[in-house]
Structures are given as structure tokens and as C-alpha cells.
Structure 1
Amino acid sequence: MRRTATLMLVLMAGVFAASHVAMGAYPAWAPALGYLNAFAEAAMVGGLADWFAVTALFRHPLGLPIPHTAIIPKKKDRIADTMAQFLRANFLTPSVVARRMRRMNVAASAGDFLTKTEDGERSRLMGGGAELLAEVLESLDPERLGMRVRSGLASQLAKVELAPLLGGLLENLIADGRHRPLLDGLIRWAGLTLEDNEEAVREIIRSRANSVLRWTGLDSRISSSVLDGVYRLLAEVLVDPEHPMRGKIDASLIKLAQQLKTDPAMQAKVEAAKNDLLENPALADWWMGVWERMRVSLIARARDPESALGDELRGALREVGSALQGDPRLQAQINRFARRTAVGLTSRYGEQITALVSETVKRWDAGTVTDRIESAVGRDLQFIRINGTLVGGLVGITLHAITHAF
């Protein structure tokens, strides 16, 4: 557009020169050529004037330091402050933000976004979210992250009084009878363990018998009797829900629950055991192994579009989106929260935002500011030059006609 406007100005100069010569060479055509000459002369004046005005906004015309030219580079800081104040006054005021937010249904828009799918039911959000999760897990130092998670869990567990919690849990289990399946499992485990280690138990009994019992062979009979008695007791306790041994075990568990809740000595022992466990290096090594397996598994599942993790997340997002779309009360609550949040952010950080705009523009060099503004409005400014050329020519014809008429 700059070249077009300049070529039009050059054309008018050529027409002016040609018409001036033609009027001397062809006197008969002088009246008609006079109008053309007046048009071209006035068009040159209008085009040059508008070229000067447009150029003076951004730089010195012809490089000459004419006063009140290169306005934008010289007034860069004032422009930055004005832009920031305009943004603050017209966009970042609580009333404007609140009025704008009232016309927006943020919850419904979020629900629509979450329910829209692409690429075979793969949520638009999941496409980038799953990859982002995998990249975050890969970029972070696994050992440092694992130790931070462990430290956080350990610090939280250290604050928890474990003994009363265990006592209440144990009381509830006994009151509802939910400890019985666990007790049955322990009895079965004890029987199987004893069966697997029967020879070791016999050897212990024989080693503790005196030489006379070993010489007479009674040690084997004693060990068999002991094992048979233990097997029989375990079987009877397992099959008889009303066995006295169960009552004794229940009574012992109830007593233990009370001690855990009320006995300071028992509570101190539990806390000491908990602290020893948390400080044990073996626990740290075990946790690091567990954490690394979890991390690798999460990365693989996040990047697998067919994984159960992706299906669960996609299903959860769709459910959230459907709820946001179909529940007007939920929409009203979320929209109110969004509006209050936006207004609060505007009130709290509006000045900082406008200051950021102003300081950013001020840090730009004058050439950058000039280029950015000229690239935004320069095309329209060149139209001013073109229009100025044409309007100047029309004014020239009009004045020429008036002069010859009177």
C-alpha cells in the first residue's frame, strides 16, 4: 500500500508536468488541459501533505529532525502509560468484569468442552492431559520426588496419634464381628505354617528333651502328641464359632483396644514403634521400590490410549461434563464462584497487570514499538495518502472551475 500511494503521487507529478507542457504546445486544448493540470497540481499537494503527516507519526520525513515528527518513538513511554490506563479503566475494573461474567455460562461451556470427543471417543482434554502427566513424571527426578512424597507421608503420619486410632478401629471390628474372617484366616495360616515346618518343630522338642527320653524314644511320641494337640485345637477353634478359645481371644482383643485408647504406657510403646518404623532405612528402600514401580506404571498407562486409566479418566470427565450441562443449580453455583473469583483477581491484581503492560512496552526499543504499531495500522494510513491525493485533486478542479467562472 505504501508503494501504491507513492506511485499515485508520482503519477500525479507526471500528469502535472505533461499537462503543463501540453498547454503550451496545444493552445486550443489549453482550457481542458487546465482542469487536468489543476487536478494534478492539487493532488500532488494533497498527497505530499498526507505523506508528511503519516511519515511524521513514525519517523523523521527524509531523515530531517523537523519538530513534532517521529511522534510515536518519542512518546513511547506516554503511549505505554496510556495503553495501560485504558486497559485498566475499560477492561480490568470489577464492575466491567462482573457485568461480562454475568452474560457467560462458564459451567455449561466447561461441560460442553468435557463432553465433546474426537479420535474415537478420546476426550479432547485427555489427549494433552495424559501426555502432560507422562512428561511431568519423566522430567522430575524420580529419587528426589519419591523422597519428597515419603517425607510428606512420614511427616503426616508422625502427627497422627496411632494408638487411639487403632483402638477405635479394633473396637468397631469386634463389635460388628468383622474380625472373625480375619481370625479364621490367621488360624488357617497357623495350621499351614505348622504343617510346613513340622519337622523343625519336632527337632526343637527333641533337642529340649533329656537324654533318657531320647534313649527310650519317648521324645518322638511327645512331639507327635504336642503337634496332634495343636492341630486338634486349631481345627476345633476353626469349626466351632462358640469355642471358648475364641471368647478368650475376643476378650484379649477388647482389652488391647481399651489399652490402646486409654493406657498412656501402651500408647507410648505404639508411638515409639511407629517412629522407629518411619526412621528405618529399610522402609525408605521399600518405599522407593514401590514408588518407582508406580511411576513407571503410571507413565505407561497414561500413554496407552486403551488403558483402563484412560477409560476411567475419560468416563469421569464425561460424567462431570454431563452434570455441568444438565444441572442448572450446579451451573449457578459454579458461575457464581467463577464470577467472584474473576472479580477478586481483577481487584487484587488489576494494577499489577496494567503495570506489566506499561513496563513491557517501555522496555521495547523505539524501533520495535514503531514497527508493531505501523504493522497494525500502516495499511489504513496509506489509504489516507491515497484519499488525500484524490481529494486534493478534486479540490483543485473545484477551485479552478470557480476561478474561471467568476
Structure 2
Amino acid sequence: MRRIATGLLVAMAALFVVARLNAGLHPAWGYVQGFAEAAMVGGLADWFAVTALFRHPLGLPIPHTAIVPRNKDRIGDTLALFLKDNFLIPHVVARRMQRIDVAEAVGRWLTDPVSGAQAGGRMRYGAARLAANMLESLDPERLGGMVRGALSNQLRGLHVAPLLGQALDAAMTERRHMPLIDGIVLWAGRVLEANEHLVRAMVHERAGAVMRWTGLDETLANKIIDGLAKLLADMAADPDHPLRTKAEEGLEKLAHDLQHDAETQAKVERFKNDMLDNPALGDWWQGVWERIRAALLGMARDPDAMMAGRLGEMSRALGETLQSDPRLARTINRFARRAAVGAAADYGDAIVRLVSDTVRGWDAATITLRLENAVGRDLQYIRINGTLVGGSVGLVIHAVEGWL
């Protein structure tokens, strides 16, 4: 467009020369000369005006030229204030968000794979590639150590004992501790059955010579084993067995102590800290983190495979729910609207400062190039229009001059 505008100006200059040389041959050449002369004036004037916006015409330091480079800081501040006063006002954001159905858009994107591939595919693949690059570029051991350290700090600051006590209390209230006691009883029965020889050996060693000679030690060992086996069988069969009641009383006391006894809480805290300081736990967590990292990398490298699995089914189910449940959709849209309004209210000034500081940080050549590229074609149309309009005005003036 710059070449077209400049070429038109050169064409008007050539036309002026031709008309000037042929002025005496016919009166029409006077009109052509008037048109070309005024067109050159209009084209040069608009060339000067357009050029003066971005640089000094012909490199001459004429006052009030190179307007954009000299005023880039003021332009940045004005642009920032324009954004703040016209776009980042909470009620403007709220009115705009009223017309956006976030829940419907998200639900449609989750449930329609074809639409997702066309409308959101680039975003999904871009986000997946960014996540994969970040995971691959970061040092695995250092990243795992950071995650482990953050998790350890969170656990160290967490009072575990009251939470355990509340969980145990709730489980006993709902009778969810019964399978635990049943499991302990069954485990004790299997342990006794597998270690009968140890009981017999212990009785044999502690029995006197007379009992061993007469074989009473073997009879006593059988009685002990049978008695313990019968006790465990009775406990397994009778939910109201006295020993089970004693066990429940012990669990109730433990739940109370975990919530209210300082000494018990201190013991739990010491045990927790010892576990966190144990190198074996760190090694175990490093292995867990590596598996998590490998899974995240696999998901990031192949988002379609991820969406085709169980996660994809869950996403589609969520999308269908978002589209079919008006109350849930209203809740999500209200949340999105409040979040956007809150962001505008809380971070509007920060966004304004970001725009202003970014423009201030640009050098004069950068902002000149970016603005000129943004509006350059329209500016060259101004030059073309100035040339043509100026020529038309010159033609009218010459005609009026001839009539007078």
C-alpha cells in the first residue's frame, strides 16, 4: 500500500509535467494540470501527516513530528486508562458475563469430541505440549524433592491425632469398626494355627522333667491351643462377646485420648515426625513421584488417548450433566461471573499497570513498528484519498477560475 500511494504521487507529478508541456495545445490540459497540481499538494500533505506520526519526515527535526516515539509513555498510560475505564469495570464485566453461558460451552466441549478437536483441539494440544515440555525440562530429582518437601511441610504442620480420633469416633458411631475387629480375630486365629509348634515348644521347655516324662506337657499344650482357638472362634461368632466389648472400650478410649489427651497427641506427633524423617519414606515417595511423573508425561504427550479412557468417560458424563442440569449450570455460570467480576475488581489496577509498564519498556523503534504495522494500510489509504481528493478540489478550483 505504501508503494501504491507513493506511485500515485509520482504519477501525479508526471501528469503535471505532461500537462504543463501541453498547456497551449488545448484548454483541457489546463484542467489536467490543475488536477495533477492539487493532487500533488494533497498527496504530499498527507504523506507528511502520516510520516510525522511515526518519524521525522526526511529525517528533519521538524516540531511536532515523530509523535508516537516521543509520546510512547503517554500513549501507554492512556491506553491503560482506556482499558480500565471501559473494560475492567466490575459492572461492565458482569453485564458481559450475563450473556455468556460458560456451563453450556464447557459441557458441549466435553461431550462432543469432533467439536473439541476443531474448536478446542489446538488449545488442548498446546496446553499438553507445554505441560510435557515443562515436566521434561525440570530436574526430576529436584522437582520430586520440591514436591516431597512441600508435602512434608504440610504434614508437619497438620495435627494428625485429633483427625484420627474424630475419624475413629465417627467409624465407631456408625459401627464401621466391626470389620476391623473381625479381621483382627480371624488374623489371630490364623497366626495361632500357623504357630502351634511354637506354643508346644514353649510349654515343653518350661515344663518340669516329670511332666515331660509323663507326657503331660503335650496334654497341657493341647489344652492351651484348644482353649485359645475356642476363644477366638467364640469371639468371631458372637458380636457381643465380652472381649470384643473390652476391645471396643479400648477403641473408644483411644478415640477420646487422640482428641483430648495431650500426652497421646504428643506421642502421635513424635511418631509422625519420625516417619517423615525416615529416609525409607523419602525413597518410597521418590518412586511414587516418578510413577506419577511418568503418567503425567504419558497423558500430556497423548491427550486423545487420555480422553478416550476412563477420564474421557468421566469428562463426557460431566459435560452431559452440565447441559442437562439447569440448576448446576446456573451455579457454575454464577461462579464464573463472580470470579470474572472479582478478578476485574481485584486485579484491574495490576492489569493496567502491566499494559502501561509494557509499553514504557518498549523502545521507540519497537512501538513505532508495531503501531505502523497495525494501522499501516489505512494510513496509506489516507495518502491515496488525499491525492485523489486534492486533485478533485484542484479540478473544481480551475473550473471556477475559468468561469469567472
| Fold shared by both chains (TM-score > 0.5) | yes
Closer, same or farther in 2 for the Cα pair 1:161/1:109, shift >3 Å? closer
- With over 3 angstroms needed to count, the CA separation of the structure-2 counterparts of 1:98 and 1:276, relative to structure 1, is closer
* Greater alpha carbon shift after TM alignment, 101-110 vs 157-166: 157-166
SS at match of 2:238: coil
Q: How has the CA–CA distance of structure 1 residues 334 and 184 changed in structure 2, closer, same or farther, with 3 Å as cutoff?
A: closer
Moved more, 261-270 or 309-318: 261-270
Q: CA deviation at 1:339?
A: 2.1
The Cα of 1:154 is off from its aligned counterpart by 4.5
Q: Does structure 2 conserve the Cα–Cα contact (< 8 Å) formed by 1:206 and 1:220?
A: yes
**Residue 109 of structure 2 aligns with which residue?**
113
Going from structure 1 to structure 2, the CA distance change for 1:270 and 1:126 (only over 3 Å counts) comes to farther
**Deviation at 1:271?**
3.0
Q: 1:64 and 2:66 equivalent?
A: no
Contact 1:168 1:261 in 2 (8 A): no
For 2:258 and 2:162, the matched residues in 1 are separated by 15
| Structure 1, 229-238 or 63-72: larger mean CA deviation | 229-238
What does residue 11 of structure 1 align with?
11
1:61-140 equivalences under 5 Å are 61-118=57-114, 139=138
The correspondence for 1:398, drawn from 378, 385, 396, is 396
Residues 235 and 243, structure 2, Cα contact 8 Å, conserved in 1: no
**Greater displacement, 222-231 / 82-91:** 222-231
Residues matched between the structures, number: 394
Letter of the aligned partner of 1:241 in structure 2?
A: D
CA distance in 2, matches of 1:330, 1:319: 14
- From the CA coordinates, give the structure whose radius of gyration is larger: 1
Give 1:43's aligned residue. Answer: 39
Q: 2:326 aligns with which of 325, 328, 331?
A: 328
Greater displacement, 182-191 / 52-61: 182-191
Structure 2 counterpart of 1:241, from 238, 241, 244: 238
What is the TM-score when the length of structure 2 is the normalising length? 0.82
2:274 match: 280
CA displacement, residues 195-236 of structure 1 (integer Å, 9 cap, x when unaligned) = 332333222222212334345554344434433444455456
Question: CA shift at 1:55, angstroms?
Answer: 0.9
Query: What value does the CA root-mean-square deviation take over the aligned residues?
Result: 3.6
Residue 153 of structure 1 pairs with residue 155 of structure 2? yes
Distance between the aligned counterparts of 2:92 and 2:257, measured in 1?
63
Q: Can you list the C-alpha shifts for 1:279-306, whole angstroms capped at 9, x where unaligned?
A: 3348844543553454344445452679
Task: Flag the 1:137–1:260 CA change in 2: closer, same or farther, 3 A.
Answer: farther
Q: Which of 355, 367, 384 pairs up with 2:382?
A: 384
> Which deviates the most, 138-147 or 73-82?
138-147
Structure 1 regions of 5+ residues with no counterpart? none
Kept after mapping to 2: 8 A contact 1:163/1:271: no
- Which one-letter code corresponds to 1:7 in the other structure? G
Q: 1:204 to 1:377 in 2, by over 3 A?
A: same
Contact 1:39–1:394 under 8 Å retained in 2: yes
Q: Cα 1:67–1:284, aligned 2, differ >3 Å: closer, same or farther?
A: same
CA spacing shift, 1:284–1:130, aligned 2, 3 Å:
farther
Inter-partner Cα distance in structure 2 for 1:261 and 1:221: 42
Partner of 2:285: 291
User: Structure 1 residue 168: deviation in Å?
Assistant: 5.7
- TM-fit CA distance, 1:136: 7.0
Offset of residue 318 of structure 1: 2.1
What is the deviation of 1:388? 1.4
Residues 167 and 259 of structure 1 are in contact (CA less than 8 Å); yes or no, is this contact kept in structure 2?
Answer: no
**CA 1:318–1:189 in 2, change beyond 3 Å: closer, same or farther?**
same
Q: Which moved more, 1:47-56 or 1:215-224?
A: 215-224
Tell me how far apart the structure 2 counterparts of residues 79 and 159 of structure 1 sit (CA, whole Å). 60
Partner SS for 1:390: helix
1:213 paired to 2:211: yes
Determine the C-alpha separation between the residues in 1 that align with 2:48 and 2:124.
56
Contact kept, 8 Å, 2:275 with 2:281, in 1: the verdict is: no
Normalised by the size of structure 1, how large is the TM-score? 0.82
* 8 A Cα contact 1:260 1:266, kept in partner: no
Structure 1: distance between partners of 2:145 and 2:110 = 35
**AA at the equivalent of 2:38:** A
Distance 1:345 1:66, change over 3 A: same
Contact 1:12/1:44, CA 8 A, preserved across alignment: yes
The match for 1:355 is: 353
